[in-house]
Amino acid sequence: MAEETVDQKRLVVSTSPHIHDKKNTKKVMYVVCLALLLPIIGGVYFFGIYTLLVVLVSVITAITTEFLAKRLRKREFIMDGSAIVTGMLFALVLPPRIPLWAVIIGAAFCIAIVKEAFGGLGHNIFNPALAGRAFITVSFAGLMTSWIAPVKSVISLDSITSATPLGEGFSYAGSTSDLYIDLLFGNVGGCIGETSALFILIGGLLLLATGVIKWRIPVVYIGTVFLLAWLIPGQDPVFHILAGGLFLGAFFMATDYVTCPMTAKGQFIFAFGAGVLVILIRVYGSMPEGVAFSILLMNAFTPLIDRHVKPKPYGYIPPEKKSRFPLKKKAKTTDVADKPDQDSSTDKKEGKK
């Protein structure tokens, strides 16, 4: 038995390392899908069963478009789950009663133009779902501003027009703490997946716990919005972080691997910039909500950030200082420096002879 295996078996040769972490792209994508189910459940609960249809249509369109685009580009179609994530995210940033034809157009745009036209997974500059939303907003402005109030029953197709918390004409009857609670649970008008901060937070924590995303972008992004709103007179920081799509954007979209910087430092700049943009748009801009555009704008900066914010490599000596001993040693330095002459001369003698 042993002889047989030793003599006749052909060996496979490959470069090191010969072991691999169990993490792979597919698993990452499916964990994101799982985390996204929570805001979807929230959307269905608050806005009725029709929203589930929106999500399904969006996902199916995304997958189909990717399949067709790969065919056209003569590339192999791999079901890696990224199209599902894009489809889900796109649906979550749409108004609850959006007509299905608009969903199909938008989802197809996300994949065909924003993702595949740039070279497919890993090569897109902008977050596909957000770029798709921007496209629909620009093309069909009327559809994207018709919000409804949360419905009373899940199967209902009723729609009572209502404003979103950030929108003009929004008025809240109860106290501030009641408003916070409604915002936290999502019992307010808004996009399908953005209203319930709590559901998104749980999904986001799932991503953090599984190591899919790192804490930096969500924390810095939300933190910046909170701080700036607190600094600007007349703004309510808690309201600013709970209302609108900030949580959804911070946990699921700004953290998109492909379109955010790779280094820790770059991610800080990215998240901080996005936070500033959100406040600028919300407080001083003409639109009520700025999360989508803040992330898209920072996406455009990502290649620039990545080019200029590199981590300092091990043993790096800044070009000005040509020091041979750039870093401090733990303790002693002086006593060694005192007597190198003697020892080196003896070394030389012994080494050369």
Partner 1 sequence: MSLFNNEKSHGIHPPGNKITSNKKIERVPLPKQVILPLSQHIGAPSKAIVKKGDEVKVGQKIAEAGGFVSVPIHSTVSGKVTKVIEMVSSVTSNVGNAIVIEADGKDDWVKIDKPSKPNKLSKKEILNRVKEAGIVGLGGATFPTHVKLQPPPDKKIDTIIINGCECEPFITSDHRLMLEHGEEILKGLEIMMKVLGCNEAYIGIESNKPDAIENMEKIVSESNISGEVIVELLPAQYPMGAEKTLLKRILGMEVPIGGLPMDVGVVVQNVGTLKAIYDAIYDGIPLVERVLTVSGAVKEPKNIISRFGTPASEIIDYCGGTNSNANVMIFGGPMMGIAQISFDTPTTKGTNSILIQKNNTEVEGNCIRCGTCVENCPMNLMPLMYVAYVKKNMYDELKDYWIDNCVECGSCAYGCPANIPLVQYIKVGKAELQKRRPK
- For partner 1, the closer CB: 99 or 311: 311
Q: Which is nearer to partner 1, 14 or 286 (CB)?
A: 14
- Closest distance between partner 1 and the C-beta of residue 125, in Å? 11
Nearer to partner 1 by Cβ, of 152 and 308: the residue is 308
- Taking the complex as a whole, the smallest distance from the CB of residue 310 to partner 1 amounts, in Å, to 6
CA dihedral 124, 127, 133, 139 (to 10 degrees): -30
Nearer to partner 1 (CB atom), residue 72 or residue 317: 317
Orientation angle between helical segments 100-109 and 82-92, nearest 10 degrees: 130
> CA 333, CA 223: separation in Å to the nearest integer?
43
d(CA 274, CA 290): 9
| CB of residue 262 to partner 1, shortest distance in Å | 4
Structure tokens at 114: 């924003």
Q: Shortest Cβ distance from residue 291 to partner 1 (Å)?
A: 22
Least distance to partner 1, CB of residue 118, Å: 12
Nearest-angstrom CA–CA distance, 302 and 316: 24
Instruction: Tell me how far, at minimum, the Cβ of 34 lies from partner 1, in Å.
Output: 16
Distance CA(204)–CA(110), nearest Å, equals 23
Give contact residues for partner 1 (rule: CB under 8 A). Answer: 1-3, 5-7, 9-21, 23-25, 27-28, 78, 80, 120-123, 257-258, 261-265, 268, 310-317, 324-330, 336, 340, 343-345, 347-348, 350-351, 353
Comparing CB distances to partner 1, the nearer of 71 and 348 is 348
Exposed / middle / buried, residue 177 (Cβ in 10 Å: 0-12, 13-18, 19+): exposed
- The CB-of-111 to partner 1 minimum distance in angstroms stands at 15
**Is the CB of 7 or the CB of 168 nearer to partner 1?**
7
Q: Are 245 and 290 in contact (CB under 8 A)?
A: no
Instruction: Please report which helix (H) or strand (E) contains residue 178, including its range.
Output: helix 176-185
Q: What letter represents residue 5's amino acid?
A: T
Of 92, 101, 83, 5, the closest CA to residue 46 belongs to 92
Nearer to partner 1, 15 or 177 (CB): 15
